[in-house]
Amino acid sequence: MDASERIPRKICVVGSANVDLTFRTHRLPLPGETLAGSSLHQGMGGKGANQAVAAARLGARVTFVARVGNDAFGSEALASYAAEGIDTSFIHKDNERPTGTAAILVDDKAENSIIVVAGANEGLTPDDIKAATSSIESAALVLCQLETPLGTAIEAFRIARASGTLTVLTPAPVSLVTDELLALCDVCIPNKTEIAALTGCLIENYDDAKNAANLLRQKGVKRVVLTMGGEGALVVDDEGATHIPRMKVDAVDTTGAGDAFTAALAVSLANGLDIRQSARQASIVAAISVTRIGTQSSYPTGKEVQAWRR
Ligand code: RIB
């Protein structure tokens, strides 16, 4: 596709849609232990849906390609995406599997543990992606994660590559990543655990992080944006390595902050910012999200980000 035919600020997200049940507890339970929690929050989640919602709130035109169950959570999810202005034409209702569900435990230090039952997410097929070809081709970027089958991400990236749409990968769950997928990846956004698994490097300092990112680039990834939690992020590409410091905030819930970061980076790239400016913008959006409880409920709008910067 010719660059002039591409729709400005359009992002296509291929990935998971879950309902998130967030339990707050003083500390995470030990094996075999029963703990009293302090609150329960139900909201929409899933790495794909989180990225779609975060990008839409920041002003992108978003198409979300996904599967939900033919159940109450699925209908609720569809209605909530439509309310965010997301194009839901490529979200299918699966008659055989329930909507994906995540149980999330968050402790007083804002750390979390998550169990996901994939449900309908497992049913997203390469044919579902082919049906959305024109949407991928006309987008500035396509975002994938791996809570839906690997083959769907590969199909989405193949279509994107053939048409000049930028491919952006969240390599989670990391055990599913293959070299074939990495070779189709323009921007890969791992965290420290993920890059260690992908490269076999233990990340203990800045040089370890830079070396691991360069090893990932040798597998065909063009740009690596390594998120390092409290230590900020590291952008590594042909121009070298740049550290992006983290914004200091009082975190209450870090769940989904990586998805907010990825979406904000993608929106900034789609708006024409370079990768370093985009990573700075992304770190602001992620910082705002950790000051609020929940996943999608914690994502700021473009106006909130501007106000926060002031
Ligand atoms: O990245 C956070 C997400 O992981 C949650 O919303 C949960 O649904 C799991 O997919």
Q: What is the pLDDT of residues 209-234, one digit of tens each?
A: 999 999 999 999 999 999 998 899 99
C-beta separation of 67 from 121 below 8 A: yes
**Segment 52-67, tens digit of pLDDT:** 999 999 999 999 999 9
189 Cα–ligand 1 center, Å: 16
Helices (H), the chain: 47-57, 72-83, 126-131, 133-137, 150-163, 179-182, 192-199, 206-218, 257-270, 275-290, 302-309
Q: Is the pLDDT of residue 120 over 90?
A: yes
Rounded to the nearest angstrom, the distance between the alpha carbon of 104 and the centre of ligand 1 is: 8
Strands 39-45 and 18-24 come out as antiparallel
Return phi, psi of residue 258, to 5°.
-65, -35
Provide the pLDDT for residue 101: 97
Q: Which atom of ligand 1 is nearest to the CA of 19?
A: 8
Region 197-204: mean pLDDT is 94
Q: How confident is the model at residue 182 (pLDDT cuts 50, 70, 90)?
A: very high
Of all protein residues, whose CA lies closest to atom 6 belonging to ligand 1?
A: 45
Q: Cα(257) to centroid of ligand 1, in Å? A: 10
Confidence of residue 205 (pLDDT cuts 50, 70, 90): very high
Confidence band, pLDDT 50/70/90 cuts, at residue 293:
confident
User: What is the pLDDT at residue 229?
Assistant: 87
Contacts of 215 (CB under 8 A, 6+ apart): 199, 201
Convert the pLDDT of each residue in 16-50 to its tens digit: 999 999 999 999 999 999 999 999 999 999 999 99
Average pLDDT, the chain: 95
Q: pLDDT-derived band of residue 2, with 50, 70 and 90 as boundaries?
A: low
Tell which residue, 265, 262, 251, has the closest CA to residue 298.
Answer: 251
Q: For the segment 154-170, what is each residue's pLDDT rounded down to a tens digit?
A: 999 999 999 999 999 99
Looking only at the bridges linking them, the beta strands covering 240-244 and 233-237 are antiparallel
Report long-range pairs for 25-28 (Cβ below 8 Å, ≥24 apart).
25/105, 25/106, 25/107, 26/107, 26/108, 27/107, 27/108, 28/105, 28/107, 28/111, 28/113
* Other residues' Cβ atoms within 10 Å of the Cβ of residue 192: 20
pLDDT digits (tens, 9 = 90+) for 88-105: 999 999 999 999 999 999
Q: What is the pTM of this model?
A: 0.95
Probe target for ligand 1 pocket from 13, 18, 80, with the most ligand atoms within 8 Å of CB: 18
**Atom number in ligand 1 closest to CA 295:** 6
Tens digits of residue pLDDT in 237-257:
999 999 999 889 999 999 999
Give the Å distance between the CA of 102 and the centre of ligand 1.
Answer: 7
Cα 222 from Cα 185, distance rounded (Å): 7
Q: What is the pLDDT of residue 310?
A: 82
Share of the chain above pLDDT 70, in %: 97
Catalytic amino acids? 259
CA distances 258 to 2, 103, 284, Å, are 32, 17, 12
Report the C-alpha gap between 295 and 19 in whole angstroms.
Answer: 10
Q: Is 306 exposed, middle or buried (0-12, 13-18, 19+ CB in 10 A)?
A: exposed
User: Which residues form the pocket of ligand 1, taking CB atoms under 6 Å from any ligand atom?
Assistant: 16, 18, 20, 45-47, 50, 102, 114, 116, 147, 255-256, 258-259, 295
The Cα angle at residue 268 between residues 267 and 270, in degrees rounded to 5: 65
Ligand 1 nearest atom to the CA of residue 49, by list position: 6
- Give the β-pairing of 112-117 and 100-106: antiparallel
- The Cα 14–Cα 53 span in angstroms is 12
- pLDDT for 221 equals 98
What is the atom index within ligand 1 of the atom nearest the CA of 44?
Answer: 6
